[in-house]
C-alpha cells in the first residue's frame, strides 16, 4: 500500500505533537526578491515563541538533472552572490504563473543550457533550511535532449559542463561544487537510474 505524502495524514498516524497555533503574523521586511515574516506561535504545551522566516515563491521552483546521454549530466557555472564567487550547480529557477513544473523545467533548461527535453519526470521535492525558509524545490529528471535556446534573465551566458553521474565523489572533491540541493538531487537521480537499469536486467 503506498505511503501518504500528506504531512497532516502522516501526523494522524504517528505520535507527532499537535502543530503550534499561529497567534499573529507580521511582515518584517520585503525586497524585490525576498519577504521576511514574523510568526507568533503558541505550542501545545503552552509555550509561546516568535519565529522569523523567509517566505518562498507561491508558484514554487524547479531543479533539473538533465542527461544528454545515459552516463552524463549537465551542470552550469554561475555567479553566486551569497558566496561572491562562481559555483557549479544544476540548472534551476522559479515556476512562472500559469506554468506546471514540467513546462517550467523545460523552459529553464532551454534558457540556461541551450537544450530542451522530450522526456521529463519528477524525482523528489527538497527543502532548504526549513526552520527559516518556506521554500520547496521540485527536482526533475530530463532526458532525450535536443538543442533549443530561449532567452533568459541571466546577466551573462551560463557556462555548461558535462560530468559523469557515476563520478559524484570527484564532484564533491571540488571547491566550487557544494550546493546541498544539487548534491542530493544527483544522488537521488543516480539511484533512480541504477534501479531502472537493474529492473531492465531482470526482464
Confidence of residue 105 (pLDDT cuts 50, 70, 90): very high
Let me know: does 73 contact 67? Beta carbons within 8 Å: yes
pLDDT at res. 57: 66
Task: Give exposure, 158-197, as e/b (b: 16+ Cβ within 10 Å).
Answer: bebeebebeebeebeeeeebebebbbebbebbeeebeeee
The residue assigned the cell 527559516 is 132
Q: At residue 75, does pLDDT exceed 50?
A: yes
Across 114-126, average pLDDT: 96
Confidence of residue 147 (pLDDT cuts 50, 70, 90): very high
pLDDT at res. 10: 55
pLDDT at res. 154: 85
Q: At residue 9, does pLDDT exceed 80?
A: no
pLDDT at res. 198: 62
Q: At residue 169, does pLDDT exceed 60?
A: yes
Confidence of residue 14 (pLDDT cuts 50, 70, 90): low
Let me know: does 137 contact 105? Beta carbons within 8 Å: no
Q: At residue 11, does pLDDT exceed 60?
A: no
Highest mean pLDDT among 52-61, 94-103, 189-198: 94-103
Give the pLDDT confidence of 82-93 residue by residue, as tens digits.
Answer: 999 999 999 999
- Give pTM, 2 decimals: 0.84
Confidence of residue 31 (pLDDT cuts 50, 70, 90): confident
**Residue of 189, 185, 149 whose CA lies nearest to 62:** 185
Q: Which three cell numbers stand for residue 22?
A: 499561529
Q: How far is CA 199 from CA 27, 121, 173, 194, in A?
A: 51, 18, 31, 9
pLDDT at res. 197: 73
> Does residue 31 or residue 58 have the better pLDDT?
31
Amino acid at each position: 500500500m503506498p505511503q501518504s505524502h500528506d504531512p497532516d495524514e502522516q501526523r494522524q498516524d504517528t505520535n507527532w505533537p499537535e502543530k503550534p497555533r499561529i497567534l499573529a503574523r507580521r511582515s518584517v521586511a520585503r525586497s524585490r526578491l525576498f519577504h521576511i515574516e514574523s510568526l507568533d506561535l503558541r505550542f501545545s504545551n503552552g509555550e509561546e515563541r516568535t519565529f522569523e522566516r523567509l517566505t518562498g515563491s507561491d508558484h514554487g521552483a524547479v531543479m533539473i538533472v538533465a542527461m544528454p546521454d545515459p552516463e552524463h549530466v549537465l551542470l552550469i557555472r554561475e555567479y553566486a552572490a551569497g558566496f561572491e564567487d562562481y559555483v557549479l550547480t544544476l540548472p534551476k529557477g522559479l515556476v512562472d504563473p500559469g506554468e506546471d513544473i514540467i513546462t517550467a523545467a523545460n523552459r529553464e533548461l532551454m534558457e540556461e543550457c541551450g537544450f530542451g527535453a522530450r522526456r521529463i519526470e519528477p524525482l523528489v521535492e527538497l527543502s532548504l533550511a526549513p526552520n527559516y525558509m518556506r521554500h520547496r524545490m521540485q527536482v526533475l529528471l530530463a532526458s532525450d535532449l535536443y538543442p533549443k535556446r530561449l532567452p533568459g534573465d541571466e546577466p551573462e551566458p551560463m557556462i555548461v559542463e558535462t560530468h559523469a553521474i557515476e563520478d559524484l565523489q570527484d564532484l564533491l572533491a571540488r571547491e566550487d561544487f557544494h550546493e546541498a540541493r544539487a548534491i542530493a538531487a544527483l544522488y537521488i537521480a543516480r539511484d533512480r537510474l541504477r534501479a531502472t537499469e537493474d529492473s531492465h536486467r531482470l526482464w
